[in-house]
Amino acid sequence: MFKQLCAALIAISSTSALAQQTVLQQCAGEMPRADLDRSIEALIAQMTPAERIAQLQDRAPAIPRLHIPAYNWWNEGLHGIARDGFSTVFPQAIGLAATWDPELLERVGDVDSTEARAKFNPHQNAESARYAGLTIWSPNINIFRDPRWGRGQETYGEDPYLTGLLGSQFVRGIQGDGQGSSFYRKADATPKHFAVHSGPESIRDGFNSQVSLHDLADTYTPAFRALTGKDGAHADAMMCSYNAINGVPACANPLLQDHLRNQWGFDGYVVSDCDAVDEITEYLHYTADHAHGAADALKAGVDLDCGDTYVHLNEALDQHLVSLDDVNRALHRLLLARFRLGMLQPQSCSPWYAIEPSQIDTAADRQLALRAAEESMVLLKNENNLLPVDLARKRVAVIGPTADLLQVIEANYHGTARHPQTLLEGLQDRLNSGTKISYAQGAMLAEGVTVPVPRTALRTGAEADASQGLTAEYFSNTSLSGAPAKTRVDARIDFDVDRVAPIEGLNDSYSVRWTGFLQSPAPGKYRLRVGIDRCFDCNGHDAYRLWLDGKIVLEDDGKADNRPDSVSFNWPDAQLHAIRLELRHTGEDEGIRLDWEAPADAQLDEAIAAAKQSDAVLAVVGLSPDLEGEALRIKVPGFNGGDRETLALPEPQRRLLTELGKLQKPMIVVVTSGSAVALGDEAREARAILDAWYPGEEGGHALARVLTGATDPSGRLPVTIYRSAAGLPAFTDYSMARRTYRYFDGPVQYPFGFGLSYAHFFYSSPMLSSTSLKAGESMEVKATVKNTSQRDGDEVAELYLIPPAILGAPRIALQGVQRLHLKSGESREAHFILTPRQLSIVDAEGSRAVKAGRYRIFIGGAQPLDSASIGAVFEITGEQPLTP
């Protein structure tokens, strides 16, 4: 093989230098594709086999003699550029899904790639850091099949059509489609995780997802096809998942070739989830060693390994498990992607080369984040039209553990908000100056889970009139020495400092000292915890010390792991405790929190006292990314490994709502979460319920505007809120029987597609282009929507198809979405085209075809709940097979 390689290099030696000069000096987009491909092959031919293999890993090293800079392929942009300092933080993906607004998703994707460009362009020819590149590993388009999945918050919900629609527009926004270039990408989108992946998190690495051919084609793959197929959004990349699919690892599965490339026409590159190639051997035990695992992944079509297992391709080459052609094929795709991103050639070749850091988190971006947060909020209950409410000159008690929690704003896979405000702070900022807001934490998130010490328990001094919070001194060194660069009062210690400093003017190495007093509200057992948000794959971490009453009670020098991060006290009475916390930021850690676990009765008593003095109670309850998320190390009642074991609120919060309800005050419940929360008897006295998800950096402002009627609630549920998990199949069961609104026919608390408005809308009966179609023809559907209320509002027109009772058909399926802004009294036409694919049905063998039969169509502002509301009927004659 070595002799063959030498012969090949000699054969091209007369042209390789010219080809390389052409690649580097001429814009690839101006070259005929055949010439570009030949130039890429010539570039590859100048690399040794080991150099080629090294380029197939996410930390691709530089090859100086070929003028190839190092590149780190890993970046995240689920709802804003993540993990790389300041960016615009939009609502979490499940909140974006609740907008049911494809145009909005495209604009969010566009901001994502603008900010990625703004961070990358100034350093294009330097070695890129992780999370600083143009290859964005988003969106997550797995189907949220079970509400217990902790990562469901990253998805667009439970419906394949809605997921494909929103995901396609997000991809177009990221990649810059329609913005002046058919060759160059603004950035690369990477739909994930192909293809049958949705928990459980605790066993995901070695889990085998057993799926029928019907469910694979009907539920799990349609969104991936919509985003990557030749007639879809043309995402340039795809990520395969950790798990096995019917016994074969997803990153070594024939689906990558059979479906993705052969049937759908995908011509981009495939990247593994991080360490998924390693897990082919280590967790799934599919191969005897890593050389065979890496070979299986490469031959299946995985071009890029997030991890270092592809180094074993050197062994696989020697053992003839793969050929050099297999390596070259993958490398060609990756180099082509870098050329399409404007790399490896003059920077000015890309139409996006001039985007600058000043375009990060602009005023327009924040306005878009506000719009997204407003559109995402779903009004679930509004008894006697309590909302909108005039809060001017009113006393409002904001109560609940998620009201003043930064995590709830940012969610997971997040960037750092430049001007972070919790929901409480956003409400204080936007509500009428005459509104008097009191606050009480009220309860813990869940049993055994700490939350930031609330501002009500922190004081700058021992005096009765001392300010809430702690005095903070910020130093431009790590020794807490000299005069502080800035002194201020911090209301609470809950900071996201991922690649940023907490104040302007500090560099990466700084220190902070917080001093003041902690007021224990009642006797009892307390636990204090210093939470350091560790960065991924860092060398060392931040050091801290916590003093209480003059004694060091917690300490970490930043060098050793597994030190205690919490300490407990039994305090005999309510008293002030002198507190001091010092942080030395020397690593790349992402944040710090001063948490506590306080006696439940003491917290509840504070909440009741605040509520009694109010005119209205705003109870902000729900979940947080500490409870639900990716592979979390948590096992407390109701939560395991990042997944949920119940759909109910955690018990401490149920008790809080129950006791608040007894006061008979007007109570509005705001639910923060990334998944469906089933409120039971504890919320019976609530007169209004609003689902706010994880709403992003403008979430507090959006909440204030929705509550007061400055904007109309118009979100729709992208998931079903079941009454409980008791009626659902086992979490590990990947069959879609009795899952999601498409196949679940039992009673639910709130159905998929549900959402109330302050305005009222009337729909005419659907008008069809024909009442009889031949299989393979499209159907045009129209309906007039009129705003019959006295206020302007947004309405989401939803089209549902009810197929005949054919084996394999869902009971009902969303097939059209149109968001309309209608002024008072205004009418507009909702217009839809149903393609043959939308009219098709998947049989038990996974074959898709348009089938003969009687179909029904409904158009309205929510899912039809009974057959009497079905608006139009038509017949299909004949049968038309389609690709999966």
Catalytic residues: 273, 628
SS3 685: coil
The distance in angstroms from the start CA to the end CA of the chain is 40
Which two three-digit tokens encode residue 404? 């003043």
Nearby residues of 13 by Cβ (< 8 Å), 6 or more positions away: none
Q: Answer left, alpha or beta for residue 662, where phi above 0 means left and psi between -120 and 50 means alpha.
A: alpha
User: DSSP character for 631?
Assistant: S
Separation CA 670–CA 688 (nearest Å): 8
Q: What span, in angstroms and rounded, lies between the C-alpha atoms of 692 and 565?
A: 32
Altogether, the residues listed in the chain come to a count of 884
- C-alpha–C-alpha distance, residues 103 and 105, integer Å: 5
What CA–CA distance (Å, rounded) separates 240 from 270? 7
| Beta bridge pairs of residue 361 | none
Q: How many CA atoms lie within 13 A of 135 on its CB side?
A: 29
Euclidean distance between CA atoms 153 and 626, whole angstroms? 13
Do 822 and 788 contact (CB within 8 A), yes or no?
Answer: no
Burial label, 881 (beta-carbon count in 10 A; 0-12, 13-18, 19+): exposed
Question: Rounded to whole angstroms, how far apart are CA atoms 371 and 108?
Answer: 11
- Give whole-number Cα distances, 848 to 72, 222, 232, 392, in Å: 40, 11, 17, 58
The rounded Cα 2 to chain-centroid distance in angstroms is 47
Q: What is the b/e burial string over 60-78, where b = at least 16 CB atoms within 10 angstroms of the residue's CB?
A: beebeeeebbebbbbbbbb
User: Rounded to an integer, what distance in angstroms lies between the CA atom of residue 18 and that of residue 352?
Assistant: 27
**What does the alpha-carbon distance between residue 782 and residue 766 come to, in Å, rounded to a whole number?**
6
- Phi, psi (degrees; rounded to nearest 5) at 453: -55, 125
Amino acid at 387: L
From residue 845, alpha-carbon distances to 15, 75, 215, 353, 808 in Å are 52, 38, 10, 49, 9
The answer to whether 617 and 404 are in contact (CB under 8 A) is no
Q: What is the DSSP string of 590-621?
A: -EEEEEEE--HHHHHHHHHHHHHT-SEEEEEE
Distances from the Cα of 601 to the Cαs of 88, 160, 399, 524, 682, in angstroms? 39, 45, 15, 9, 17
How far apart CA 61 and CA 78 sit, in angstroms, is 26
Question: Residue 371: helix, strand or coil by DSSP?
Answer: helix
Q: How many CB atoms are closer than 10 A to CB 103?
A: 11
Dist. CA 251–CA 300, nearest whole Å: 7
Burial 862-873, CB ≥16 within 10 A → b, else e: bbbeeeeeebbe
Q: Cα separation of 357 and 82, whole Å?
A: 15
Which residue reads 């793969």 in tokens? 322
| Nearest C-alpha neighbor of 227 from the set 273, 272, 161 | 161
Structure tokens at 221: 């793959």
Paired residues of 527 in beta bridges: 568, 597
DSSP state of 273: P
What is the distance between the alpha carbons of residues 470 and 576, in angstroms, rounded to a whole number?
Answer: 13
Residue 297 structure tokens: 């992944």
